[in-house]
Amino acid sequence: MQLDSFDDALLCGQCLQHPPPLQCVHACFTYRWPVDGLLRRFKFHQDLAAGRLLSELMTRRCAGLPRPQALVPVSLHRQRLRQRGYDQALELAKPLGHALRLPCLPLLRRVRATAPQSELDAAERQRNLRDAFIARGALPAHVALVDDVMTTGATLHAAAQALRRAGVHRVDAWVCARVP
């Protein structure tokens, strides 16, 4: 007797019918002290040294994970980039990629400005990001999205959908911290 793939038994019926765009998410830390303070300093107070430290800590936590072909930072819209002066996901992804010998590819573009996710509830976050990203460039088969914080997963979900629509076969996510 031949059995179907054991992997299918690990998914619910909804996920079998409509597979989620993310294969797996790896959060290096829980969003609490002291990581939450470092992330706020990095993201909102231009503390790039805190970002370098967080990227180094992420490198240690991600070193043993299955390797994607490339890291893809979750991009900011150009308007938010102008306000902040840097893209925090890119600042995490570049040294992470260098340390793990993985290319860091800017394959995602945020095509419309969105409200800050921190001000929205879960349903509003999903609506806010609908069609906010497009993928461009030569796309590898397996990538890992890199972002600073995951709360509901709406941003990563929208970014992964854009990559999957463009032809990426497997999308993982590596985030610095996960809000419990």
Return d(Cα 113, Cα 109) in angstroms, integer: 11
In DSSP terms, which residues pair with 145 in a beta bridge? 72, 173
CATH number for the domain spanning 33: value is 3.40.50.2020
Q: Is 75 exposed, middle or buried (0-12, 13-18, 19+ CB in 10 A)?
A: buried
User: How far is residue 109 CA from its own chain's centroid?
Assistant: 13
The range of the structural domain enclosing residue 164 comes to 21-178
1 pLDDT tier (thresholds 50, 70, 90): very low
Is the separation of the CB atoms in 146 and 89 below 8 Å? yes
Closest to 95 (Cα-Cα) out of 136, 131, 60, 46: 60
168 pLDDT tier (thresholds 50, 70, 90): very high
Residue 7 lies in a domain: no
Range with lowest mean pLDDT among 13-27, 72-86, 94-108: 13-27
Enter the pTM of the model: 0.87
Which H helix or E strand runs over 143?
strand 142-150
- Pick the residue with more confidence: 53 or 2? 53
For 78, phi and psi rounded to 5 degrees?
Answer: -60, -30
Number of structural domains in the chain: 1
Return d(Cα 68, Cα 49) in angstroms, integer: 26
Token reading at 139: 């796309």
3 pLDDT tier (thresholds 50, 70, 90): very low
Residue 14 lies in a domain: no
